[in-house]
Amino acid sequence: MWSYKDQPEKGWRVTSLVLLATSALLAGCMSCGGGNTVPAAELPHFGAQRAFTDLERQVAFGARMPGSPGHQQQLSWMISTLQPLAEQVRQQHFTAKTGLDGPYEFTNLLAVFSAAAPGPVTLLGAHWDTRPVADQDPDPTLRSQPVPGANDGASGVAILLELARIFRQTPPPHPVYLAFFDAEDSGKSGSGLLYGGYCLGSVYMVQNWPADLVRPERAIILDLVGGVAKPNPRVPVRTDLGANDYFDLRVEGYSAQAAPELVDQIWSIAEKLGHGAFQRARQTAIIDDHLPFIAAGIPAVDIIDFVPPVWHTVDDTPEYCSPQALRQVGETMVGLIYGRE
Ligand SMILES: [Zn+2]
């Protein structure tokens, strides 16, 4: 079932360590507790436009599929962006065959914030690779092209990087890990691999968690959170959505089963902030990077718009994403990190 080849000479390594003096800031945040969500005005500002610029930047690297130059450029850029922001940036290297081909070299990143603060320990994760084939494209002649991955890949990463800037400015009151998973999107149903060969990076991270780092107590995955700014002329308009056409974050099935309290907490925060994309209605159960955490007994929630019209097509580009979508998810995550008791 497994196709991993461990590389013990690499494994985890700490690439930077910055000790932050956080006590004064922590005292300020902790006093906001009491179980109530902090009003939006009191939360650190989430720069949606800045996050959107990071989304565009990633797409400008080209496809970030395994073995590509864009994949390497994206990795270097994420590391250099995170190093001045996080207390630690850890790299986890592994080699794997994907559901499509390979083997390739892969790298997960883990950026650590407020490690010395009291629990609970939260992991926020997104995949940073992109799909090598646009196999959902309506035009069969385009299905061997790579997916640009503006929504599917770049959107989650863009939110995490903006959160990293916020965490640097205002250290979270509890430990937070930002996880950047490689090798999520090269799966193929029927490949015989676990999860169809999707989620290789998150599986590897959970199964090879660094011994000197406390395991997360809860995980939230962001995927396909870039919204859709306008209809695409090549794909049918969705008719299953109401007022939130083109961006719809219904509760994912496995998340509802495995982490109902965390789902309720997140959706309550979104409602208090007025972010209508978060809807309580249930959507289908989806194979994504939350499953390895759930399998390891860690409550995990997948925040995902499944599926935007341009999903796995060559039109998964920034023009079909929007800063407003990033803002809804980003502010909700800020509320979760700073607003809880
Ligand atoms: Zn995908």
Dump pLDDT digits (tens) for 270-317: 999 999 999 999 988 999 999 999 999 999 999 999 888 899 999 999
CA of 42 to the centre of ligand 1 (A): 35
Instruction: State pLDDT tens for residues 189-217.
Output: 999 999 999 999 999 999 999 999 999 99
Q: How far is the CA of 132 from the centre of ligand 1 (A)?
A: 10
Residue 27 confidence class, pLDDT cut points 50, 70, 90? very low
List, for residues 152-166, the tens digit of each pLDDT value. Answer: 999 999 999 999 999
The answer to whether residues 173 and 30 touch, using CB atoms and an 8 Å cutoff, is yes
pLDDT category of residue 14 using cuts at 50, 70 and 90: very low
Q: How many A from CA of 91 to the centre of ligand 1?
A: 23
Average pLDDT score over residue span 8-36? 34
What is the residue type of 241? L
Say if residue 33's pLDDT is above 80. Answer: no
CA–centroid distance, 37 to ligand 1, in Å, is 32
| Residue 244: both structure tokens together | 């939130």
Per-residue pLDDT, 306: 83
Full DSSP string of 186-245: ---TTS-SGGGG--HHHHHHHHT--TTSPPPSEEEEEES-S--SS--TTSPPP-S-STTT
What is the Å distance from ligand 1's center to 39 Cα?
A: 34
Q: Distance from the CA of 134 to the center of ligand 1, in angstroms? A: 9
Are the C-beta atoms of residues 202 and 181 closer than 8 Å to each other? Answer: yes
- Residue 241 — very low, low, confident or very high, per pLDDT cuts 50/70/90? low
The CA 288 to ligand 1 mean position distance, Å, reads: 9
Separation of CA 153 and ligand 1 centre (Å): 7
What's the gap in Å between 290 CA and the centre of ligand 1? 14
How many angstroms does the Cα of residue 285 sit away from the middle of ligand 1? 15
How far does residue 84's CA lie from ligand 1's centre (Å)? 29
Please report which helix (H) or strand (E) contains residue 178, including its range. Answer: strand 176-181
Q: What is the CATH number of domain 4-339?
A: 3.40.630.10
CA 57 to mean position of chain CA atoms: 17
Span from the CA of 185 to the centroid of ligand 1 (angstroms): 5
- Check if the beta carbon of residue 16 is closer than 8 Å to that of residue 314: no
| Residue whose C-alpha is closest to residue 57's, from 169, 183, 191, 162 | 162
CA of 89 to the centre of ligand 1 (A): 25
Q: How far is the CA of 21 from the centre of ligand 1 (A)?
A: 39
Checking if the pLDDT of 29 tops 60, the result is no
Checking DSSP bridges between strand 104-113 and strand 88-96, what pairing results, if any? antiparallel
Rounded to the nearest angstrom, the distance between the alpha carbon of 186 and the centre of ligand 1 is 8
| pLDDT at res. 280 | 95
Domain ranges of the chain: 4-339
For the stretch 100-142, pLDDT in tens is 999 999 999 999 999 999 989 999 999 999 999 999 999 999 9
Q: Copy the structure tokens of residue 334.
A: 């800020």
Higher pLDDT, 315 or 228: 315
CA 29 to ligand 1 center in whole angstroms: 36
Cα-to-centroid distance, 152 and ligand 1 (Å): 5
Specify the pLDDT at position 35. Answer: 40
* Cα 341 to ligand 1 centre (Å): 35
- How close is the Cα of 309 to the center of ligand 1, in Å? 12
Q: In 3-state terms, what secondary structure has residue 38?
A: coil
pLDDT of res. 119: 86
Does the structure show a pLDDT above 60 at 341? no
Rounded to a whole number, what is the distance in angstroms from the first to the last CA of the chain? 42
Confidence of residue 38 (pLDDT cuts 50, 70, 90): low
User: Ligand 1 center to residue 147 CA distance, Å?
Assistant: 8
Q: Tell how far the Cα of 306 is from the centroid of ligand 1, in angstroms.
A: 10
Ligand 1 center to 177 CA (angstroms) = 23
Nearest to 123 by CA among 285, 259, 20: 259
131 C-alpha vs ligand 1 centroid, how far in Å? 6
pLDDT at 58: 98
